Chains A and B, each alone.
Chain A
Amino acid sequence: MTALLSFRNVWVEYGDKIVLERVGLDIDAGSFVSIVGPSGAGKSSFLRLVLGQEAPSRGEVLLDGQPMRAECGPDRGIVFQRYSVLPHLDARRNVLFGLECAGARVTGRLFGAARRRALEEVDAMLDAVGLLSAGGTYPAQMSGGMQQRLAIAQALITRPRILLLDEPFGALDPGIRKDMHALITRLWREYSLTVIMVTHDIGEAFALGTRVLTFDKRRHDPHAPHRYGATATYDIALERKTEVQGSDAE
């Protein structure tokens, strides 16, 4: 079986600054990959590759064995630490957005029966992240945790196969974070997702992941630190037996 995502000797360079070098990895479908590493190690750059926002400067990224197109698409969803939701839409419309993009190429809006059907799907998704009662709320009126829940619901409505998370819970307080861990674990299972999550919290990385990658520089030139890039230095497979506990774990 071929891996869902393969990195073959991938390099990311900006000018003469090497950010990632010689990254060779296979990521299996259904895995939950946590990525940790020092700031500036290229974790976000790695996600950008998977997202298709950028192409590698050398090497290739394969999706299902096929070279990946360097453009975002609905099979890969993402949640950033901030700014992941649309501030001018309330929660329901934020989630509806993905369905409207697919269903109404010209107007970008669904009407009538199509809209009602889509809204049923939206409400089910809002329910899954515990936001059903906040459907008419605008992001600015939501807490950080609610906004991230919304961002996840919004990302999942288009049924992506891969969900990318870039420090998604970095701005949340520890209690809320626990709830979010339970939520993302449940969604990962229910929607058979492949999750790649960047985090600065080692505990979080090991609690959630089926695999933990650390990104760091192997070599270091003190006179020209930009001449060497980071790569996956540790690759730890984990057996996930323990359930993450949290108030909304079912």
Chain B
Amino acid sequence: MRLVNIRPGRATSLVLGILPVAALVFVYVLASASRHAINPGDRILPTPAAMVSAMHTLMFVPDPMTGRLTLWADTLASLQRLCLGLAISTLSALIVGLALGLVPLVRALFGPLVTIIALIPPIALLPILFIMFGLGETAKVMLIIIGILPVMIRDVAAHVETLPTEQMLKAQTLGASSWQLAIRVALPQMMPRLIHALRLALGPAWVFLISAEAIAADIGLGYRIFLVRRYLAMDIILPYVAWIALLAIALDWLLRLANRRLFPWAGSS
């Protein structure tokens, strides 16, 4: 049998998927143990026990300075910024993408502008954002929006443009006005793509969030890992990175679930 035709079953897939992760963890534990055998004070590859105890403190012991439970406060602050940025971007992409994709006049007017903005590296705009909006929450949320919105708009608008002409004509022969075409034909077919674009934007959104937090913040996941970097506190950084990854996976999974539940017709076509 050819290699390309061997399809693993559910259980096999699960085991195969876990295998590399388990191997990675195993290699880490070995490497960490061997470094600690030579130098018990090693900070670069902390033992799992050291990470657990560091995290225990951050999770359950209030910070003496602020009185907050550090991990939860960081998570809440970061998720707030992230979700606000994502929500505003999604809503804007919906409206602008729909108009851009459906109305040639709007496309002619704003298409080039969106393309130009999409080509500017968002991080280069960060100083401008800090100057304009100060060092507070607004600048961080704005960075996320500027970072992901143009790409989302372009993706969604391109999708609306590729809706078959036949469909648009048919709807018009059924009496649909421009408005009805937008809300009854284009919008519903755009929604799965919008959620998909949002899923793809999650990665960049985290990058921009953590960059903004690293540069100017006093709370947040990104702020924390850049803060403790000064003390080489890998026992905090590694679990934090794992936690961020876990949050990202959870968000992605939620969106995928939403897409399947809300738009069952989209999967099979």
Contacts and interface: CB of A to CB of B under 8 A. Distances in A.
A212 B170 CA distance: 25
A51 B166 contact: no
Nearest to A155: B173
Contacts of B172: 71-73
B180 A108 contact: yes
A82 B269 CA distance: 13
A239 B183 CA distance: 46
B184 A51 contact: no
Contact of B189 (A77, A87, A109, A154): A87
Q: Which of A85, A140, A157 has the most CB of B within 10 A?
A: A140
B175 A158 contact: yes
Contacts of B69: none
Contacts of B188: 88
A138 B264 CA distance: 10
B171 A140 contact: no
The winner among B184, B263, B264 for most chain A CB atoms within 10 A is B184
Nearest to A101: B175
B164 interface: yes
A80 B180 contact: no
Nearest to B173: A72
A53 interface: yes
Contacts, number: 91
Interface string A144-169: 00000001001101101000000000
B169 A51 contact: yes
Interface string B167-189: 10111111111011001110011
B268 interface: yes
Given A87-B265, A108-B184, A138-B265, A155 B189 contact: no
Interface in B211-269: 263-266, 268-269
Contact of B268 (A73, A84, A101, A141): A141
Given A108-B180, A140-B268, A141-B268, A86 B185 contact: yes
Given A87-B269, A101-B180, A108-B180, A82 B174 contact: no
Contacts of B175: 73-74, 98, 101-102, 158
Interface residues of A, number: 38
A89 B268 CA distance: 13
B170 A84 contact: yes
A140 B265 contact: yes
A163 B268 CA distance: 30
Contact of A83 (B167, B179, B264, B266): B167
B169 A72 contact: yes
Interface residues of B, number: 25
B166 A80 contact: yes
B171 A97 contact: yes
Given A83-B164, A83-B167, A100-B184, A88 B263 contact: yes
A78 interface: yes
Contact of A97 (B174, B177, B266): B174
B36 to A, nearest CB: 58
B183 to A, nearest CB: 5
A51 B183 CA distance: 23
Contacts of B183: 108
B169 A88 contact: no
In the complex, which of the residues A73, A105, A106, A108 has the most CB atoms of chain B within 10 Å of its own CB atom? A108
A88 B268 contact: no
- Most chain A CB atoms below 10 A, which of B172, B183, B188: B172
A181 interface: no
Nearest to A157: B174
A104 B109 CA distance: 30
Contacts of B180: 101, 105, 108
A74 B180 CA distance: 14
Contacts of B170: 78, 80, 83-86, 151, 154-155
B167 A84 contact: yes
A78 B266 contact: no
B174 A158 contact: yes
A73 B177 contact: no
Contacts of B185: 86
Given A72-B173, A77-B173, A97-B171, 17 more contacts: A72-B169, A76-B173, A78-B169, A80-B166, A82-B164, A83-B170, A86-B189, A87-B269, A89-B265, A98-B175, A101-B171, A101-B175, A108-B179, A138-B264, A138-B265, A151-B170, A158-B175
Interface of B: 164, 166-167, 169-177, 179-180, 183-185, 188-189, 263-266, 268-269
